């Protein structure tokens, strides 16, 4: 796919699609709850549709009129065995979180996905679930999918110290803990996104969070709710970066999720000197608007406890750094290696093709800027966030064409991304 290049700037108002993390969880919690759950502004992208299809295979009735999704909850004990192994596509969230839900079932389920999913490490989820009493195993004795989960209605609560900072692992344990006997206590390595904790409360559950410690009593019953999904800040990040580095840009993003466990990108832009204002318009849904324009940026160091708050945005933050004055260092980001692709290596390799001064390290990236970018043949590696980052990078190119291989990966989280981007730069 030939990408748009040599653009002056982007201008306008945009509402990005619904938050992917919340969309996944709205289906999951709706299925586990008693009664009806309605979901508005659901993200109809490949990953979230994989979650919807999975729970339909597990016996949950889900209606979709194109505007509102209605989940007819079965309760935690109402799921039924699937007729065959379930394909979860490219969705790491689906396979990891649902493993936690199925740990409390009374049947066996096999989950598999695409080539990327087959490389995702699952012991980080399976080992704590096995401590709780479920039987989980990967393909041919490995920790990799396909995985087989033999659940048990007799799960036991555990005390678990997280070896990695991962909202997916934490969420899988919490979803199992809702069905377990006794209390489960989780100690996080670093505080990660808290959508699961928020949704437990929204659906009528009780959970206690004290810093890095989370306590949940098992045997709770959830009740169906009305859910409005805010815009995904991970999707908004590509436009925030584009507006800050392209000349003559002025952009307003509306209904963006502003959950503080997700807003690391805003902190980084602020620290780099971006000309930006943020307004929380809807406190109940933790959403608001962001206005940003062309900015003079300076390099920063990014690491430590901010990393879980912007892990998915790091590829586009690396692009941002190529246009900032000085050396930007990203560290403590080993989790980027086990995403849809090794995002550390993929980001460094593809931006270097375009002329960026960028170096991959064991746990991050070193970027010197500002540097002009030029045309090249690049690839997404089948990773939606790498593909969208490269589309923004191409807008800076004045010399040559940018041809993107595997552009279809973008549909995993943002099916209309290329259309939205082109509308903002049309004169």
92 assigned ligand-binding residue: yes
120 assigned ligand-binding residue: yes
298 assigned ligand-binding residue: no
108, two tokens? 């066996």
Q: Is the dihedral of CA 287, 288, 293, 299 positive or negative?
A: negative
Among residues 286, 274, 288, 243, the alpha carbon closest in space to that of 420 is found at: 243
How far is 25 from 21, CA to CA, in rounded Å? 6
201 assigned ligand-binding residue: no
How far is 324 from 330, CA to CA, in rounded Å? 14
How far is 142 from 147, CA to CA, in rounded Å? 9
What are the φ and ψ backbone dihedral angles of 208, each rounded to 5 degrees? Answer: -115, 130
312 assigned ligand-binding residue: yes
**Contact by Cβ (8 Å): 33, 60:** no
166 assigned ligand-binding residue: yes
Sort strands 226-228 and 34-40 into parallel, antiparallel or unpaired: parallel
168 assigned ligand-binding residue: yes
Q: For this structure, is 312 an active site residue?
A: yes
385 assigned ligand-binding residue: yes
> Which one from 312, 368, 403, 420 is the annotated catalytic residue?
312
226 assigned ligand-binding residue: no
**Contact by Cβ (8 Å): 173, 156:** no
How far is 168 from 188, CA to CA, in rounded Å? 12
Active site residues: 312
| Binding site listing for 3-phosphoshikimate | 20-21, 25, 166, 168, 312, 339
| Binding site listing | 20-21, 25, 92, 120, 166, 168, 312, 339, 343, 385
| Binding site listing for phosphoenolpyruvate | 20, 92, 120, 168, 343, 385
């Amino acid at each position: 796919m030939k990408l748009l290049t040599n653009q002056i700037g982007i201008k306008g108002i945009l509402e990005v699609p619904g938050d992917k993390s919340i969309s996944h969880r709205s289906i999951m919690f709706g299925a586990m709850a008693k009664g009806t759950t309605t979901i508005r502004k659901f993200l109809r992208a490949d990953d979230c549709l994989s979650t919807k299809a999975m729970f339909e295979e597990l016996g949950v009735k889900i209606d979709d009129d194109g505007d509102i999704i209605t989940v007819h909850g079965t309760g935690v004990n109402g799921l039924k065995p699937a007729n065959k192994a379930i394909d979860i596509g490219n969705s790491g969230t689906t396979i990891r979180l649902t493993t936690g839900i199925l740990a409390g079932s009374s049947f066996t389920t096999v989950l598999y996905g695409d080539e990327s999913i087959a490389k995702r490490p699952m012991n980080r989820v399976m080992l704590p679930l096995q401590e709780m009493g479920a039987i989980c195993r990967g393909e041919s004795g490995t920790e990799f999918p396909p995985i087989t989960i033999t659940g048990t209605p007799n799960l036991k609560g555990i005390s678990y110290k997280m070896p990695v900072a991962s909202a997916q692992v934490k969420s899988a344990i919490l979803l199992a803990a809702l069905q377990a006997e006794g209390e489960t206590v989780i100690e996080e390595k670093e505080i990660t996104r808290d959508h699961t904790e928020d949704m437990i409360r929204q659906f009528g559950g009780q959970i206690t969070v004290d810093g890095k410690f989370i306590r949940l009593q098992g045997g709770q019953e959830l009740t169906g709710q009305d859910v409005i999904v805010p815009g995904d800040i991970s999707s908004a990040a590509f436009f925030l970066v584009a507006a800050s580095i392209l000349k003559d840009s002025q952009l307003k993003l509306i209904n963006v999720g502003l959950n503080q466990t997700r807003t690391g990108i805003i902190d980084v832009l602020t620290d780099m000197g971006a000309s930006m204002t943020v307004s929380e318009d809807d406190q109940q849904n933790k959403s608001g608007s962001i206005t940003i324009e062309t900015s003079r940026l300076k390099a920063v160091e990014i690491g430590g406890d901010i990393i879980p708050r912007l892990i998915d945005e790091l590829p586009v933050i690396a692009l941002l750094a190529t246009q900032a004055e000085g050396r930007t260092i990203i560290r403590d980001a080993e989790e980027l290696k086990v995403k849809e692709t090794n995002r550390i290596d993929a980001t460094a390799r593809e931006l270097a093709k375009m002329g960026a001064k960028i170096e991959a390290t064991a746990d991050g990236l070193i970027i010197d800027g500002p540097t002009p970018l030029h045309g090249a043949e690049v690839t997404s590696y089948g990773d939606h966030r790498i593909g969208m980052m490269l589309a923004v990078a191409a807008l800076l190119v004045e010399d040559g064409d940018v041809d993107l291989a595997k552009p279809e990966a973008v549909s995993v989280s943002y099916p209309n991304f290329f259309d939205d981007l082109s509308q903002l730069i049309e004169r």
